[in-house]
Amino acid sequence: MNDPRFAKLARTLIGHSTRLAAGEHILIEAFDIPAEMLTALIAEVRSVGGHPHVALRNGLVQRALVADADPDQLDAWSAYDLNRMERMDCYLGMRGSHNVSEMSGLPDAQVQAYSRRYATPVHGERRVNHTRWCVLRWPTPSMAQLAGMATEAFEDFYFDVCTLDYARMAKASEPLCDLMNRTDRVHLKGPGDTDLRFSIKDIPAIVCSGDRNIPDGECFTAPVRDSVEGVIHFNTPTLHMGRSFENVRLTFEKGRIVDFDADQGAEHLAGVFDTDEGARYVGEFAIGFNPFIREPMKDILFDEKIAGSLHFTPGRCYDEASNGNKSDIHWDLVLIQRDDYGGGEIVFDDTVIRKDGVFVVEELKGLNPDALK
């Protein structure tokens, strides 16, 4: 049975997120997604005169492909999918998952090989930089469990968040983008021993309001590569390549991660940060403000948008906000600064712009939850 919410979401994704035009080609990469949602997307693509292409994926099959793939297979797989990506104007990643930890247990070297030979050329270099793209999760019982919600309640939450008025959010985000573009020095304070300083001078700020991710709600830039100094203690649990991490703590000197620890997953951190030289540096700094997303659920597309949060990302930067850092990883780690998570401050050039998760500068108050709702 078709859910009327499928068509509404399809209109948002095709009309707002990817802005598909007549004659353009879009690749819909679908991991464990109901056929009814895909047919709704195909219908919406054709309604605007576009050309839909669909790649069906399955989590179990994906793990089997990655697990024992040798370099020849990874290179052939990459070349095949890269050729298709080069022919696309837009990309839509529909990522459901029956088991969010499906990729756990793979050797570090195999995960690194997959990232280097497949994910980086196909997605990190081609798709991200040369298509209009949007990535979103799909509500499953697995996700509902991570969120601590009943399946039906989570589905209601999901569709409310994914179809909110993103055009309104985009307008409210403009003052923050302008302020970030004028800022040099950033100082982050937070729970634990978080005390981090860096510069964002002359690196563009980019608003994300439904055009790259659904759900959305962030403004990102990147730190000047060698400017990061101090400690940041992330208080949000996270998954990376199917592995769980909690309370990740990073120490920086001259932009480089020189020490790291975690309450869970500490034994895997070296494998991540030794992927390549760029994995020890940061490629993104972003401020999250989606008013409907309040609690972490180990899904980065939701968690990085949490109201009152920020994320700081070891690894590859984005071309549109480049600090020159190259890497096969891009690992968004989230710090919530709301009072119920220990509080904290974001300081721009000696002015506190957000305190305990609430914007306190007059021109930014439109991004607080009460205003956005």
Q: Identify the CATH number of the domain in which residue 31 sits.
A: 3.40.1830.10
Q: Do 252 and 275 fall into the same domain?
A: yes
Q: Do 209 and 317 fall into the same domain?
A: yes
Task: Find all residues with CB under 8 Å of 222, minimum gap 6, and list them.
Answer: 200, 203, 282, 283, 284, 285, 317, 318, 321, 322, 323, 325
Tokens 């939450």 -> residue: 157
Q: Do 225 and 324 fall into the same domain?
A: yes
N-term to C-term CA, the chain: 31
Q: Do 118 and 216 fall into the same domain?
A: no
Query: Cα separation of 200 and 192, whole Å?
Result: 24
Whether the bond into 215 is cis, omega within 30 of 0: yes
Domain count, the chain: 2
Quote the tokens at residue 82: 């890269």
Longest dimension (CA), the chain: 56
98 DSSP assignment = S
Tokens 């979103």 -> residue: 136
Q: Inter-axis angle of helices 4-11 and 151-162, to 10 degrees?
A: 30
Q: Which of 144, 162, 180 is the last residue of a domain?
A: 162
Q: What is the amino acid identity at position 242?
A: G
Mind giving me the DSSP string for 251-264?
A: EEETTEEEEEE-SB
Q: Do 269 and 320 fall into the same domain?
A: yes
The one-digit pLDDT tens for each residue of the chain (373 residues) are: 578 999 999 999 999 899 999 999 999 999 999 999 999 999 999 999 999 999 999 989 999 999 999 999 999 999 999 999 999 999 999 998 888 788 888 998 998 999 999 999 999 999 999 999 999 989 988 888 888 889 999 999 888 888 888 888 999 999 999 999 999 999 999 988 999 999 999 999 999 998 888 899 999 999 999 999 999 999 999 988 888 999 999 999 999 999 999 999 999 999 999 999 999 999 999 999 999 999 998 889 899 999 999 999 999 999 999 999 999 999 999 999 999 999 999 999 999 999 999 999 999 999 999 998 8
The residue segments making up the domain with residue 64 are: 4-162
Q: Do 85 and 120 fall into the same domain?
A: yes
Query: Cα separation of 176 and 328, whole Å?
Result: 29
φ, ψ of residue 199 in degrees (nearest 5)? -110, 145
Query: Cα separation of 88 and 24, whole Å?
Result: 8
Under a CB-based contact definition with an 8 Å cutoff, are residues 18 and 132 in contact?
yes
Q: Do 188 and 242 fall into the same domain?
A: yes
